[in-house]
Amino acid sequence: MSRPQTKVFGGSPWAGSTGPRAAREEAPTSAEPQWRCRTDRESRRPVFAAALLIIAGQTWVAHSLALRPVWVFPAISTALLVASIAVYESATAPGAAARVLSRALVVVLVIGNGASLVLLVRGVFVGSSLSPSGLLIAGLALWVVNLAVFALMYWEIDGGGPESRADGYPGHYPDLVFPQQQADQQGLAPATWKPSFYDYTYVSVTSAVAFSPTDAMPYSRWAKLTMGTESLLSFAMLAVVVARAVNIAHG
């Protein structure tokens, strides 16, 4: 009696499985790269919650740094977030309008952070109504908010967006290539592995701290430009925060 055969996809043994999730996931064949596999779409609800926290943090920073009128960026961001939630929750297959709304939200958040950075620099080197320690805390909060904003940006745009990544990047290539997506790393992660919001958060952390890629490598022009922009902004914010801390230490 012959032994049962185990199918091999992409150089790794793939045992047959059952259940609704298995029916929606398709492991790539040996002739196609791992990232072309189709998987379940990642839920946007945790990301919507993260965006709400970002808006709240950005509002606090803007208020602390006396950005006037303080309600402009939070109001626009909240309106775009509410519209995005309404569109994504009502549509089974989000279209171009949904992508425009979600990406417009990211753009507004980035612009809001840029405006706060200008006020932070002015407060440190020209003068501010905040106490020295208050200005230091505002700078650290802005750095954390900026990290979260860029995590959202990477997640929203890489490979055409989360829906495109789940569908096997139709018409797209990965803009950020993770180790699990490389051929020589197969077998160290499931054959249907896809980056999630948490992976992009880690990418944002490493870019903001190391000022260079350490995990996922940027392959496209926009990815290199975005990662470089985050590194520059992070460096500027930390430099201002350190300058403020030195001033406090010297009285």
In Å, how far are 14, 92, 135, 147 from 208, measured between CA atoms?
37, 35, 20, 7
Per residue in 31-84, pLDDT tens?
A: 678 788 888 888 888 899 999 999 999 999 999 888 888 899 999 999 999 999
**3-class state of residue 177 by DSSP:** strand
Q: What DSSP letter does each residue of 8-59 carry, written as one string?
A: EETTEE-----SHHHHH-BPPPTTS-GGG-B-PPPPSHHHHHHHHHHHHHHH
Distance CA 164, CA 95 (A): 11
Cβ pair 186, 34 in contact under 8 A:
yes
The residues near 192 (Cβ < 8 Å, ≥ 6 apart) are 25, 26, 27, 37, 39
The residues near 121 (Cβ < 8 Å, ≥ 6 apart) are 236, 240
Q: What percent of the chain has pLDDT over 90?
A: 37
Lowest-confidence segment of 110-119, 183-192, 194-203 by average pLDDT: 183-192
pLDDT attached to residue 149: 95
Distance CA 145, CA 117 (A): 11
pLDDT tops 80 at residue 112: yes
The residues near 244 (Cβ < 8 Å, ≥ 6 apart) are 124, 132, 135, 136, 139
Cβ pair 39, 24 in contact under 8 A:
yes
pLDDT attached to residue 146: 93
pLDDT-derived band of residue 110, with 50, 70 and 90 as boundaries? very high
pLDDT attached to residue 25: 62
Distance CA 105, CA 75 (A): 11
First-last CA distance in the chain: 85
Tell me what the mean pLDDT of segment 185-190 comes to. 78
pLDDT tops 50 at residue 4: no
Element (DSSP H or E) covering residue 76: helix 72-90
Instruction: Name the average pLDDT for the chain.
Output: 82
Cβ pair 28, 183 in contact under 8 A:
no
pLDDT tops 80 at residue 10: no
**Bigger pLDDT: 136 or 198?**
198
pLDDT attached to residue 151: 95
Distance CA 136, CA 130 (A): 9
